[in-house]
Amino acid sequence: MLRNKKYMITTEELRQKYLDFFKAKGHTVIDGASLIPENDPTVLFTTSGMHPLVPFLLGEKHPSGNKLVNYQKCIRTGDIEEVGDIGHLTFFEMLGNWSFGEYFKKQAIEYSFEFLTSSKWLDISVEKLAVTVFAGDDDADRDQESAKVWKSLGIPEHKVAYLGKKDNWWGPAGQTGPCGPDSEMFYWIGQGRPSTKSNPGTDPDNWVEIWNDVFMQYNKTADGKYEPLQQKNVDTGMGLERVVMILNGFSNVYQVDSIKPIYDTVKELAVDKKNDKAFRIITDHIRAAVMIMGDDRGVMPSNLDQGYVVRRLIRTAIRQGRELGISDSFVLLVARVVIDTLGDVYDELKRNEQKIISELTVEEEKFKKAIKSGTKQAKKIMEQNFDKYLHEQGKEGMQVQSISRKEKLNFPNPLITGKEAFYLYSTYGIPVELIKELAEEKGFVLNQEEFEKEIKKHQELSQAGSEQKFSGGLADHSDEVKKLHTTTHLLHVALRKVLGDHVAQKGSNITGERLRFDFSHPAKMTPKEIEQVENIVNEQIDKKLSVSFTEMTVDEAKANGALGLFTQKYGDKVKVYTVGEDDNFFSRELCGGPHVENLSELGHFKITKEQASSAGVRRIKAVLE
């Protein structure tokens, strides 16, 4: 990225400072994980730095040690409606330092304070900082300890806000697991100086959250109790773009160097130069879509899970673009700027550039076609509704022109119901504005209120769906999940033996009931191939092979024939799981675990489904009986 003198600090500089600071405090730098969680059904995307590290918070040993530091690509879609304000982003970067059973509250807070305020590091004036700590409730005590440490460092009592679980508690990642109170740091963005009455609790609009220190000291049990953890952990998360924003005195994140070139390009392309919110949404959405598609486990637009999110991001951006009067195919232009802007830090974007561009081209074409058939469908629905209305009124054959304006405005279902509009919107992706236009062409008004109700209902449903997704899986280390996880390694090797070495894992998702495995392969598997794969896996299970892991360097892992994505930039050690004897193994794979200890625990393997997932990628669902 070009160093720009205009910036007091760039994202690149802050990332580096953060790593340097914690390295100097004895932390090991590790790579961030993929945006697409591996073997984890609990969420669609990596939503925080903590998420890929859950097994280590639960006590697995991390190959790089107990004190780590990293930066992590994150996607959050929960606040997508907020995008366009000063600070919410769908894709953002999170800086984090980690202690697995090493230091706790005092040390974590002292590190945070030193990094923020020391003239050697960020040099933020203490006057502009305030903090929140957990107020305490029936489950856990008030976090006096954190408050005391902050005060000892010079944060006055009135700048410490005590808030409840909603604000100052993090985790567990599933329904059970490690969790605890957190203490958040805020920066003053109000006018002048904060008064002695102002803190993030009393005056939230004037403070922006910049960093969160989470103290994982409890384990939430299945019956909802909070038990003290043996191993107390620290998980911190600093929002990279937000901190660069405040350090430079910017009023919003779109001025930050890792976003501004994208925003400027969108603005330049726009005919209507006034709709700042639309520039922001397009910038955010294309940036996020490119990051998801450009990940080494990248997901392309589709109607399924992550692919659906990518599709919606792109289509919303195109729709907003139309409103700004931007001509066709601007998505590609903007995507190239995203790759230029973030490609030095995330070189996977450059590796995957061709794929990103060709998929975006296809998606833009598809969207155009969908709009065409959606428009046709919309017209058909309107005609049918109109005929039905005339029939009910005994006015068959009457022309639309001969209906008075007043009657049209009071039309019971203004040509198209909210439900129907929602159907067109969700199936064809056609913008509600377009549906409105089609109705208005005939002099009718769309029942926008009903349409919005439908959208809300749908959002609630999908939220419930994602909460459900959050409830199972590796995060709780259940035995069923562990077994299926080990089975996934066996399946991977069996597929390569039957279909060839081009087979590579493209995704995995495990629930307590089944595994799902996506892999590259150009054709549908024949029944015979499926049977062969099942047999190979079951033969290994019958042999009762043992499962073990060792820690080694990436080079050693490669030399020892391990499968996996070798994209590590940091951290000299990785964890490698082996099924079978060391010198005569069946499977060897880079993996964080957990796994069973012996295949005899598994039972009988059966493939229940083999289908297409996306172009060149097949999907298998399988169970253990």
CB of 134 to ligand SER, least distance (A): 14
d(CA 432, CA 102): 54
Q: Which part of the chain contacts ligand SER (CB under 6 A), choosing from 195-203, 229-237, 369-377, 545-553?
A: 229-237
235 or 257, CB closer to ligand SER? 235
Our finding on whether 170 is near ligand SER (CB under 6 A) is yes
| Residues 547 and 561: beta-carbon distance below 8 Å | no
Nearest Cα neighbor of 65 from 483, 469, 468, 551 is 551
* Encoded tokens for 418: 């909210």
CA distances 507 to 34, 100, 504, 566, 593, Å, are 11, 28, 9, 15, 16
CB of 236 to ligand SER, least distance (A): 5
Q: How many degrees, rounded to 5, is the angle at CA 461 between CA 460 and CA 465?
A: 115
CB of 211 to ligand SER, least distance (A): 8
What DSSP designation does 126 have?
G
* Encoded tokens for 66: 């107990």
Q: How many degrees, rounded to 5, is the angle at CA 624 between CA 34 and CA 583?
A: 65
DSSP 148-215: HHHHHHT--GGGEEEE-HHHHEE--SSSSEEEEEEEEEEEE-SSSS--TT--TTT-GGGEEEEEEEEE
Q: Please name the amino acid found at residue 485.
A: H
**Burial class (CB within 10 angstroms; exposed 0-12, middle 13-18, buried 19+) of 495:** buried
Give the nearest residue (CB) to ligand SER: 237
Our finding on whether 255 is near ligand SER (CB under 6 A) is no
Out of 237, 343, 429, 472, the only residue in the binding site for ligand SER (CB under 6 A) is 237
Residues, the chain: 625
Q: How far is C-alpha 25 from the chain's CA centre?
A: 29
CB of 74 to ligand SER, least distance (A): 8
CB of 235 to ligand SER, least distance (A): 5
Our finding on whether 236 is near ligand SER (CB under 6 A) is yes
Our finding on whether 241 is near ligand SER (CB under 6 A) is no
CB of 84 to ligand SER, least distance (A): 22
Our finding on whether 507 is near ligand SER (CB under 6 A) is no
51 or 436, CB closer to ligand SER? 51
3-state helix, strand, coil in the chain (%, to 5): 45, 20, 35
115 or 577, CB closer to ligand SER? 115
CB of 109 to ligand SER, least distance (A): 14
50 or 291, CB closer to ligand SER? 50
Strand-pairing partners, residue 589, are 563, 577
Out of 37, 55, 87, 96, the only residue in the binding site for ligand SER (CB under 6 A) is 96
96 or 298, CB closer to ligand SER? 96
The torsion angles phi and psi of 424, rounded to 5 degrees, stand at -65, -40
Q: Which part of the chain contacts ligand SER (CB under 6 A), choosing from 45-53, 110-118, 222-230, 313-321?
A: 45-53
Our finding on whether 176 is near ligand SER (CB under 6 A) is no
Angle of helix 353-392 versus helix 418-428 axis, rounded to 10: 160
CB of 429 to ligand SER, least distance (A): 31
CB of 71 to ligand SER, least distance (A): 12
CB of 96 to ligand SER, least distance (A): 5
42 or 385, CB closer to ligand SER? 42
Our finding on whether 50 is near ligand SER (CB under 6 A) is yes
Our finding on whether 49 is near ligand SER (CB under 6 A) is yes
Q: Which part of the chain contacts ligand SER (CB under 6 A), choosing from 48-56, 134-142, 192-200, 255-263?
A: 48-56
Segment 182-221, which members bind ligand SER (CB under 6 A)?
Answer: 212, 214
**Strand 160-163 versus strand 129-134 pairing type:** parallel
SS3 382: helix
Q: Which part of the chain contacts ligand SER (CB under 6 A), choosing from 44-52, 280-288, 336-344, 545-553?
A: 44-52
Residues that bind ligand SER in the complex, under the rule CB under 6 A: 48-50, 96, 170, 212, 214, 235-237
